[in-house]
């Protein structure tokens, strides 16, 4: 198991080549958005990163050949001649503008294609997470040492979380979870490795599950709340826990760990919301909400989930002479499903999973929220590093039953097939569309195996039945 984890860690960083094409361990494109976007959030908000970068670059003698940038309030291309340099400059103090240009001098030569970067989608950290990151980097200059330090934090957090998981679930479970996470097709180093605090949310989820398994419900709730504040969609992982809480209240069998977990999560989220509200003008909460709504109404090739799958399944693809494919934005808008389709599909999945949620252990129930995220949210592909929960949560006292081991093996097969599709593909649009289809098929098979598991001999299928009361003797026989 130690050898497996060491090899998985080596594979994660591409055996020392890191970002292979650039031969560098820092993802400067992504780090630019998260470091500069967070550091200058008061001046830039969520919509002025590119125009300020362009104006500062022109003062430094760069970007003369760039004629358009993405207008982040509308996501449309904007002619750089329409920018009001004086208005952009007026949002900064003299000292902050000098610091901004100095940071740009650091990132400038490290990003080879600024034309493409200016057409990306800006800095999109949720306000609570942006506030934390701003506090960390506000006074830090962009230097090799600073970037090396801030991009290393993720690895420390992941290593610590996996160590806690191994202690809580057993070394075998912890080792398999580590290998699954490090070798994941979705969450690998190529996408966001070497960036600034991009793995903190998954580290919080893993550490929270470990805390819950050891009976530390309050700590688990705090960590789950952090994950939800950092990336929003992990809040859906609390849905099965809420269902289990209602079930236990109805059966008059309260679970103190669960009670403390949900109480801590609720209070933490409320406190985070209060702090965010008090800092609303500083954090540009209104800008964030408007921008994320616009972001959600768009379709991106690297997003994986039902909503995006339906769009790319329906819209006509344009095939160019070099074999690359794209979809016209007008066709994307026309292919968008009716507003009720995704919520209805999410509700149907939850209804299908509800009997399983009611009959499983409390912590295990969080697994059933992973397919719910695919149905309801369609996050970027690298966020499916949360599939590690399907490997970690089934273990109890160092053991997992046969059906769960089969499910883990099939997840490994899914990853191998996805890597194979990538080798055979030179275009991200059909690749991610096919991988999204594979993931849907896996979830369907996984759900069927979970139902088949209830018929396995020796499993306490009836132990969690709603409203059923058993005597101490009957419970001990189970």
Rounded Cα distance, 158 and 354, in Å: 31
Q: Are 94 and 138 in contact (CB under 8 A)?
A: no
Kindly state whether residues 311 and 203 are assigned to the same domain: yes
Residue 441 tokens, joined = 């098929």
User: How many structural domains comprise the chain?
Assistant: 2
Residue 322's pLDDT is what? 59
Q: Is residue 195 in some structural domain?
A: yes
Higher pLDDT, 152 or 320: 152
Kindly state whether residues 415 and 309 are assigned to the same domain: yes
Q: Is residue 422 in some structural domain?
A: yes
Kindly state whether residues 183 and 323 are assigned to the same domain: yes
Kindly state whether residues 79 and 166 are assigned to the same domain: no
Q: Is residue 301 in some structural domain?
A: yes
Out of 312-316, 418-422, 466-470, which region has the weakest mean confidence (pLDDT)? 466-470
Kindly state whether residues 100 and 219 are assigned to the same domain: no
Residue 358: pLDDT band with limits 50, 70, 90: very high
Predicted confidence (pLDDT) at residue 469 exceeds the cutoff of 60: no
What are the φ/ψ torsions at residue 310 (nearest 5 degrees)?
-65, -40
Q: Is residue 198 in some structural domain?
A: yes
Kindly state whether residues 116 and 161 are assigned to the same domain: no
Q: Is residue 313 in some structural domain?
A: yes
Residue 155 tokens, joined = 């690895």
Q: Is residue 334 in some structural domain?
A: yes
Report how far apart, in Å, the C-alpha atoms of 110 and of each of 29, 103, 113, 126, 139 are. 8, 12, 9, 27, 21
Kindly state whether residues 174 and 293 are assigned to the same domain: yes
Report how far apart, in Å, the C-alpha atoms of 39 and of each of 242, 306, 386, 392 are. 37, 35, 28, 35
Kindly state whether residues 55 and 120 are assigned to the same domain: yes
Kindly state whether residues 294 and 381 are assigned to the same domain: yes
Chain segment 59-109, per-residue pLDDT in tens: 999 999 999 999 999 999 999 999 999 999 999 999 999 999 999 999 999
Which three-class secondary structure state does DSSP give residue 350? Answer: helix
- Beta bridge partners, 19, equal 24
Residue where one domain finishes, among candidates 124, 145, 165: 124
Q: Is residue 65 in some structural domain?
A: yes
Kindly state whether residues 180 and 102 are assigned to the same domain: no
Report how far apart, in Å, the C-alpha atoms of 415 and of each of 20, 368, 418, 471 are. 20, 19, 5, 45
Residue 467: pLDDT band with limits 50, 70, 90: very low
Kindly state whether residues 178 and 120 are assigned to the same domain: no
Q: Is residue 5 in some structural domain?
A: no
Kindly state whether residues 364 and 228 are assigned to the same domain: yes
Domain that holds residue 34: 28-124
């Amino acid at each position: 198991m130690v050898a497996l984890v060491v090899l998985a860690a080596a594979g994660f960083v591409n055996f020392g080549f890191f970002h292979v094409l650039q031969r560098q361990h820092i993802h400067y494109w992504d780090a630019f958005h998260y470091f500069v976007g967070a550091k200058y959030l008061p001046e830039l908000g969520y919509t002025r990163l590119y125009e300020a970068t362009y104006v500062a670059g022109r003062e430094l003698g760069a970007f003369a050949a760039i004629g358009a940038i993405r207008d982040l309030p509308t996501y449309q291309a904007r002619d750089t001649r329409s920018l009001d340099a004086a208005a952009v400059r007026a949002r900064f103090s003299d000292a902050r503008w000098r610091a901004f240009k100095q940071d740009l001098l650091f990132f400038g030569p490290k990003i080879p294609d600024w034309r493409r970067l200016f057409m990306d989608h800006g800095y999109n950290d949720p306000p609570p997470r942006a506030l934390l990151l701003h506090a960390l980097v506000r006074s830090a200059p962009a230097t090799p040492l600073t970037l090396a330090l801030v991009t290393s934090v993720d690895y420390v957090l992941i290593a610590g979380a996996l160590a806690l998981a191994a202690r809580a679930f057993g070394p075998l479970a912890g080792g398999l979870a580590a290998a699954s996470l490090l070798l994941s097709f979705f969450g690998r180093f190529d996408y966001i490795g070497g960036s600034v605090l991009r793995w903190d949310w998954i580290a919080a989820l893993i550490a929270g599950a470990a805390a819950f398994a050891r009976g530390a419900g309050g700590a688990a709730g705090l960590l789950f709340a952090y994950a939800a504040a950092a990336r929003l969609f992990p809040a859906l992982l609390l849905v099965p826990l809420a269902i289990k809480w209602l079930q236990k209240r109805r059966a008059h069998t309260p679970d103190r760990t669960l009670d403390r977990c949900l109480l801590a999560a609720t209070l933490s989220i409320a406190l985070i919301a209060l702090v965010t509200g008090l800092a609303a003008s500083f954090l540009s909460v209104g800008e964030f909400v408007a921008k994320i709504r616009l972001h959600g109404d768009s379709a991106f090739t690297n997003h994986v989930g039902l909503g995006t799958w339906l769009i790319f399944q329906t819209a006509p693809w344009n095939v160019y002479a070099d074999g690359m494919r794209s979809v016209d934005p007008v066709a994307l808008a026309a292919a968008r499903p009716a507003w009720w389709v995704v919520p209805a599909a999410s509700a149907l999945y939850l209804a299908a999973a509800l009997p399983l949620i009611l009959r499983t252990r409390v912590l295990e129930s969080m697994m059933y929220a992973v397919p719910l995220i695919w149905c309801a949210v369609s996050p970027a592909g690298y966020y499916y590093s949360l599939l590690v929960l399907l490997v970690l949560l089934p273990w109890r006292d160092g053991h997992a039953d046969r059906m769960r081991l089969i499910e883990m093996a099939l997840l490994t097969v899914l990853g191998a097939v996805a890597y194979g599709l990538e080798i055979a593909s030179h275009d991200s649009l059909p690749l991610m569309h096919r991988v999204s289809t594979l993931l849907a098929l896996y979830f369907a098979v996984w759900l069927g195996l979970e139902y088949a598991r209830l018929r396995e001999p020796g499993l306490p299928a009836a132990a969690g039945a709603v409203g059923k009361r058993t005597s101490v003797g009957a419970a001990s026989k189970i």
